[in-house]
Amino acid sequence: MSSSTTTTKNDEGDATFANASATKNIPTFDGDEKAKATDFANYFSAYSQLYHQKQMLTDHNRMAAYHAAIVGNSQVFKDKVVMDVGTGSGILACWAAQAGAKRVYAVEYTDMAHHARNVVRANGLDHIVTVIQGAVEEVVLPEEDWERFGLTLQEEQNEQQVLPDGTKDQRVVDIIISEWMGYFLLRESMLDSLVRARDTFLKPTSGLMMPSHATMMIAPIVDEEERKHQQNEYAAGMEDWKEFAETTSNLYGVDMSVLESNFGREQKEYYVLSSRWAELPTSCLLAECAVVKELDMHVCTVEDARGVGLSVGEDEGNGAPFDFDVVGRSYADEDDGGGLAGPISGFAGWFTVDFKSRTDDAGKDVAPQIPNPAYLSTGPEMGYTHWGQQVFHLPSAIPLLADQTTRIQGTLEMMRTKDSARLYNVRLRFSSSRRRTSSQDRDGDVLMKGKPEELVYQIP
Q: Which distant-in-sequence residues (6+ apart) come within 8 Å of 64 by Cβ? A: none
Element (H, E) at 453: strand 453-459
Determine whether 179 is an active site residue.
yes
Strands (E), 162-289: 175-177, 208-210, 213-221, 276-278
Selected catalytic residue, list 12, 33, 188, 316: 188
Q: Which amino acid makes up residue 319?
A: G
Q: Residue 312's CB: how many other CB atoms inside 10 A? A: 8
CA atoms of 356 and 68, how far apart (whole Å): 11
Selected catalytic residue, list 12, 33, 156, 179: 179
CA atoms of 139 and 453, how far apart (whole Å): 46
Residue 144: Cβ-neighbour burial (10 angstroms; 0-12, 13-18, 19+)? exposed
Contact present, 161 and 147 (Cβ < 8 Å)? no
How far, in Å, are 159, 219, 230, 453 from residue 395 at the CA level?
61, 17, 10, 11
Determine whether 413 is an active site residue.
no
Nearest to 42 by CA among 8, 85, 12, 1: 8
Contact present, 31 and 39 (Cβ < 8 Å)? yes
Strands (E), 399-452: 404-416, 424-436, 446-449
Hey, which residues does 182 pair with through a beta bridge?
A: 185
Active site residues: 179, 188
